[in-house]
């Protein structure tokens, strides 16, 4: 067994999925960093298509990358050693220590992958322990820790807490209602030795004055014998989304927004964190459009990444949304695609090995794309996973950073010379079409491209120019600086309302 780290690990458990564990974990990391500690964020197993690529080319969940930044660290895939990326047909791509190891089926996941998953988790713990001798693990659980049908095979909640003898904080989301039943029910389903690990309760997302919950706080402490460490208020800031539902539920209306960007809500949406920097732009209003919706007359259309490009593209065609997007382009509209979105903008896609799932198993021919960029994509077993620092020549000469995370190789079709041009000195990063109709059609494989403040503003200025608006300043900070400010705001509120003393070492 791994020797216990000192100081003792802290673990954030939740009474349900979406209770706010990811952001509470990030807040604790930043608070401990301020106290002079070396916090080590860790989530044994995560299920998400919102991924990050670390410096070594390993995949990890974006939420653990945010927690690493909160801890003042460079993200490492050891912080999320098991990542499940849903493919939409009761299967998931399985990532162990940053590398793809196979396809997991829901009905046989624990039978097939439990032992290797637990081994990956221990390897991640060991790697972090060796590189941070005095670090304190700040662990995040997954979903509810007491799903009785899964509890004995659970990789990342109470098994990990027991293994490390972690001091656990149980988070309940009062916004959902039924907070007392959440807490009491969760504790009742724990074994006595598991319950003894719970050192504090935290009530999250409370609207109104915290003193209005004093009676409820006293009742919880009396009934459970566990201190309520505080009541975290509802915060209005747009924090990095924990999952795509968080992002889609945002209803922010910007009264001073000058341009509207329609974002295509793909069924297998991935890497939705690419949109955070645009969401933070005061002059930009994002509007989600899914199959069955009317595209309307936005100022631009953005097609984000997809875990299942071919099936998502088929949905666009069957719903009629593809025709609306093409009509928008033919009318001089501006369209930008990222990764799978760029692949969809191409002329054809070919999946000879059926890597894209059931919809393409019978595909022995090239499938039709939106044909707005003269590109051909062929999916193969090789997966591009690398960080990039490149010079973009479009819209203007700019240095940008980001990462590639995709199957498939894309190249211009024969005879496309003079129609499109690469947007970078790296000719496989992306392309833009030269269109005399005033359309601006472009795409890139570079995730995180909008994080680059100057490039983001250059792209927005192309759209603004078409509307006759003045250009925004391009000496804009990168979104990473804004993210730091938001994490600090989160930690400030946490320090004001939550007392960690009962779970910190004395």
Other CB atoms within 10 A of residue 326 CB:
16
CA 165 to chain centre: 29
Query: Measuring CA to CA, how many Å separate 54 from each of 68, 77, 239, 261?
Result: 11, 6, 21, 30
CB–CB of 307/341 below 8 Å? no
Angle between helices 62-70 and 21-34 (to 10 degrees): 20
Angle between helices 214-224 and 179-188 (to 10 degrees): 10
Candidate list 77, 339, 406, 407, residue with the active-site label: 339
Q: Which residues contact 352 (CB under 8 A, 6 or more apart)?
A: 363, 364, 378, 379, 380
Mind giving me the DSSP string for 253-316?
--TT--EEEEEE--TTEE-GGGGHHHHT-TTEEEEEE-TTS-----SEEEE-EESSHHHHHHHH
Helices (H) and strands (E) in the chain, counts: 14, 25
- In angstroms, the CA 299 to CA 305 distance is 20
CB–CB of 458/398 below 8 Å? yes
464: its two tokens? 């603004």
339 assigned to active site: yes
- Please name which of 86, 83, 166, 77 lies closest in space to residue 127, comparing C-alpha atoms: 77
CB–CB of 264/301 below 8 Å? yes
Beta bridge partners of 102: 94
452: its two tokens? 């680059």
455: its two tokens? 């490039």
Candidate list 96, 406, 407, 447, residue with the active-site label: 447
Strand pairing class (91-96; 82-86) = antiparallel
DSSP conformation class of 449: G
If residue 104 lies in a helix (H) or strand (E), which one and from where to where?
strand 99-105
143: left (phi over 0), alpha (psi -120 to 50) or beta: left
DSSP 3-state of 470: coil
CA dihedral 367, 371, 373, 376 (to 10 degrees): 20
CB–CB of 142/158 below 8 Å? no
Strand pairing class (305-306; 334-338) = unpaired
447 assigned to active site: yes
**Active-site positions?**
339, 447
């Amino acid at each position: 067994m791994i020797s216990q780290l000192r100081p003792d690990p802290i673990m954030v458990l939740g009474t349900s999925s979406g209770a706010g564990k990811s952001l509470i974990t990030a807040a604790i990391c930043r608070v401990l960093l301020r106290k002079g500690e070396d916090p080590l964020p860790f989530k044994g197993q995560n299920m998400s298509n919102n991924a990050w690529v670390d410096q070594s080319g390993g995949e990890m969940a974006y939420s653990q990358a945010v927690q690493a930044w909160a801890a003042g660290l460079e993200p490492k895939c050891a912080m999320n050693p098991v990542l499940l990326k849903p493919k939409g047909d009761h299967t998931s791509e399985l990532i162990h220590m940053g590398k793809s190891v196979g396809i997991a089926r829901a009905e046989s996941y624990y039978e097939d992958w439990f032992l290797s998953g637990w081994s990956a988790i221990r390897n991640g713990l060991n790697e972090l322990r060796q590189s941070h001798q005095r670090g304190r693990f700040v662990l995040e659980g997954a979903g509810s820790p007491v799903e009785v049908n899964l509890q004995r095979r659970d990789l990342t909640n109470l098994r990990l807490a027991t293994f490390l003898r972690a001091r656990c904080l149980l988070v309940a989301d009062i916004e959902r209602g039924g907070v007392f039943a959440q807490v009491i029910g969760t504790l009742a389903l724990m074994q006595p030795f598991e319950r003894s690990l719970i050192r504090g309760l935290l009530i999250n997302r409370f609207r109104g004055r915290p003193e209005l919950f004093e009676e409820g706080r006293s009742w919880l402490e009396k009934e459970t014998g566990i201190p309520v460490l505080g009541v975290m208020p509802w915060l209005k800031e747009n924090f990095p989304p924990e999952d795509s539902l968080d992002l889609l539920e945002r209803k922010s209306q910007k009264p001073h927004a000058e341009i509207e960007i329609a974002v295509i809500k793909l069924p297998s949406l991935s890497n939705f964190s690419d949109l955070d920097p645009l969401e933070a732009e005061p002059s930009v209003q994002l509007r989600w459009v899914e199959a069955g919706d009317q595209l309307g007359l936005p100022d631009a259309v953005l097609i984000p990444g997809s875990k299942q490009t071919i099936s998502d593209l088929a949905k666009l065609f069957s719903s009629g949304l593809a025709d609306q997007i093409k009509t928008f382009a033919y009318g001089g509209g501006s369209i930008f695609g990222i990764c799978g979105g760029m692949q969809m903008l191409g002329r054809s896609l070919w999946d000879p090995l059926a890597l894209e799932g059931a919809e393409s198993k019978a595909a022995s021919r090239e499938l039709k794309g939106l044909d707005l960029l003269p590109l051909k994509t062929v999916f193969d077993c090789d997966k591009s996973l690398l960080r990039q620092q490149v010079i973009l020549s479009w819209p203007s000469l700019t240095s940008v950073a980001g990462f590639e995370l995709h199957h498939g190789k894309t190249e211009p079709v024969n005879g496309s010379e003079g129609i499109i041009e690469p947007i970078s000195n790296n000719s496989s990063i992306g392309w833009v079409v030269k269109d005399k109709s005033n359309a601006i059609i472009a795409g890139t494989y570079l995730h995180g491209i909008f994080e680059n403040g100057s490039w983001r503003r250059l792209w927005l200025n192309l759209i603004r120019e078409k509307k006759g608006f003045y250009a925004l300043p391009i000496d804009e900070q990168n979104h990473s600086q804004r993210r730091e400010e938001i994490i600090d705001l989160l930690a400030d509120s946490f320090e004001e309302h939550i007392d960690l003393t009962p779970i910190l070492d004395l």
